[in-house]
Amino acid sequence: MNYIKYMKRAISNADAFKFTAKPNPVVGALLIKDNQIISQGEHEIFGSCHAEINAIAKAKKELGKTFNSFDELTLICTLEPCSHHGKTGPCSDAIIKAGIKKVVIGSKDPNPLVSGKGIKKLIDNGVMVEFDICANEVKKQNKHFFFKHENKKPYIAVKIASSADGKSHKKNGERIFITSNESREDVQILRADYDSILTGGNTLLADNPQMNARVKFPVNQAKKILLSNKDNISYDYKFFQEADVEIIKERNIHKIVSQIQKSPINSILVEAGPKLVNAFLISNLVDEVIIYKSPNKVGDDGVNWFDEETTVENFGFTLESSYKIESDIKQIYKKC
């Protein structure tokens, strides 16, 4: 039987939850009998039931109507069913308990807690398993999740707003908006895509930023990470409002990143001033730089993002894509 069209359907179904399931991967599952879909389930919200569990629960309502026993059904799932006790119980146990005898998997789970163990458990319990059906599409859909586990580091992007003459802000601290309203709206959507947003104490004090994703769709908001070694930070800053904030005193960027790697976070968006941004770039741990560039100049009383001779290319980045947002330009640079 050709399972590809069902796998593609499960991938599309899962996509609806990409902002609410994170930092978990999005996962879709279908239970089919011959060429008929009996039920569809997805992992909808971080911490809630996994896709397979939702698909099984929905199918139970059909039992005795469209099918008589779970051994008549094939489970299609985009990710290897889990085998661990996380926020929920192991899906592989639930599949075995339901009596499902055939499972078709998109990609193996790269999470070391699961990787291969879910498949082994199913096979050891007499379930027929096929895997690597549209695996690349599943990886692309969950790129930060796969990146973290395959590269043993979170995906790190640095976002900056720059004037035409390469400035970040004014030397006298006067608050100015470098880029347009439309670019700042785009940043909201960018934030929605990340598991964590990281900034430094100087940006907190100078700008009092909120740094959450102010978008019109449901989002599991990013964890906020503040790098600061000050002991008496006031919690009145907007950054702390309705947020899960971690303050890290460590200064070594490699140590900070490996600490974050141990948490469920797959991706970090760095939104900070020139000092911290340059420290991240020098650490060689950054995977992407996003520049919102305005056509307006700030002039000599502005602070440069980079030293005279330093450009983002000097840090090993290449322009991958760019597009206009009103009068600004958004440029995406990747490591190559």
Q: Which residues bind Zn ion (CB under 5 A)?
A: 50, 82, 91
Smallest separation, CB 223 to Zn ion (Å): 22
Total residues binding ligand AOF (CB under 6 A): 17
Residue 97 has, within 13 A of its CA and on its CB side, a CA count of 11
For ligand AOF, the binding residues in 14-43 under the rule CB under 6 A are 24-25, 27, 43
Residue 118 is encoded by which pair of tokens?
A: 């879910």
Residue that is written with structure tokens 């994170």 in the block: 22
Helix, strand or coil for residue 228?
A: coil
Residue 52 annotated among the catalytic residues of the structure: yes
114 interacts with, out of ligand AOF, Zn ion, none, CB within 5 to 8 A per kind? ligand AOF
Looking at the Cβ atoms of 106 and 166, the one nearer to ligand AOF is 106
Name, in order, each residue with C-beta under 8 angstroms of 161's C-beta and a sequence gap of 6 or more: 168, 178, 179, 183, 291, 292, 293, 294
Task: Find the binder of ligand AOF among 9, 18, 20, 88 (CB under 6 A).
Answer: 88
Task: Find the binder of ligand AOF among 11, 31, 59, 91 (CB under 6 A).
Answer: 91
Q: How far apart are CA 74 and CA 70, in angstroms?
A: 8
Smallest separation, CB 328 to ligand AOF (Å): 36
| Backbone torsions φ then ψ of 62, nearest 5 degrees | -95, -10
86 binds ligand AOF (CB under 6 A): yes
201 binds ligand AOF (CB under 6 A): no
Looking at the Cβ atoms of 57 and 205, the one nearer to ligand AOF is 57
Region class of 211: left (phi > 0), else alpha (psi between -120 and 50), else beta? left
Q: How far apart are CA 66 and CA 279, in angstroms?
A: 60
142 binds ligand AOF (CB under 6 A): no
154 binds ligand AOF (CB under 6 A): no
DSSP string, 170-206: ETT------S-HHHHHHHHHHHHT-SEEEEEHHHHHH
Looking at the Cβ atoms of 114 and 276, the one nearer to ligand AOF is 114
Q: Which residues bind ligand AOF (CB under 6 A)?
A: 24-25, 27, 43, 50-52, 79, 81-82, 86-88, 91, 109, 111, 114
- List active site positions: 52
